[in-house]
Amino acid sequence: MQTYLTLIAAVLYASCVVMPAKPRWLLSLVIVLGWTVHGAALGLEISSPNGIRLGFALMLSTALWISVIAYWLENWQLPLEGLRYLVLPGAAIQVLLPLFFPGQLVSIVGKSIWFPSHIAIALLAYSTLTIAAFHAVLMAMQEARLRNRSSVFSNGWLGKVLERLPALLLMERILFRLVLIGFVLLTLTVLTGVVFSKDIFGVAFRWDHKTSFTLLSWVLFGVLLAGRHWRGWRGKTALSLTLSGFATLLIAYVGSRFVFEVILHRSFL
């Protein structure tokens, strides 16, 4: 059942890439159907009677699941048609990854009933900040296109996509909204992680590479938001800190899990 749902979601997402923009309601309906089926597949992949399945592929798939609904919601208010050709192809590919890299099962036997909430918040935080990083990359390409009309970002398929994006100021406003939401969720992740560390590792606090990179990411995003509020940071400073914060978070979660699962074939926990 899980495999069929995954394949159906991939087909629906891929269909959205080639569908015409009008009628808008039909495209919107197919996106929502794909997102719903994707969510059902994720639910079956992650949850089981004896535990929660985690892995780098599931985290990436969850990030794209959040990206799709975020795009769908924002597209009703803002002209984000260009993002369709970037978000949905990625979602069509990422939804298939858990079939090849299922991750590992983390037992919830004997753990607090609130432990799954920590996992859910962490996934939401990572997903939201993934969208923010993707958004920052688009803004960097937009800026490069404006500075140099003969650049690689001005021609071909990518140039047409970037041309359809909203103005940089509007993109920047969306970016900081995403970073703020992601920072709040990441803060909750750190706090609940401390609470449940004893359940997971048997100690009140475990200082390892994942903890270090997560806290460093939290600091970078906090500095960015503080700088925005007090000093009006924007442009390259905002983009650099956003991507730096995401890179450290990527190393903490997806990078670590990829190395352990795919290269070392060892349990992450």
Q: Supply the pTM of this predicted model.
A: 0.77
3-class SS of residue 265: coil
The C-alpha atoms of residue 222 and residue 236 are separated, in whole angstroms, by 17
The C-alpha atoms of residue 48 and residue 106 are separated, in whole angstroms, by 10
Cβ-contact 59, 24 below 8 angstroms: no
Say how many Å lie between the first and final Cα of the chain, rounded: 28
Cβ-contact 83, 26 below 8 angstroms: no
Cβ-contact 217, 255 below 8 angstroms: no
pLDDT, residue 62, reads 87
pLDDT, residue 261, reads 47
* pLDDT (tens digit per residue) in 83-133: 788 889 989 998 998 888 887 777 766 666 667 777 788 888 888 888 888
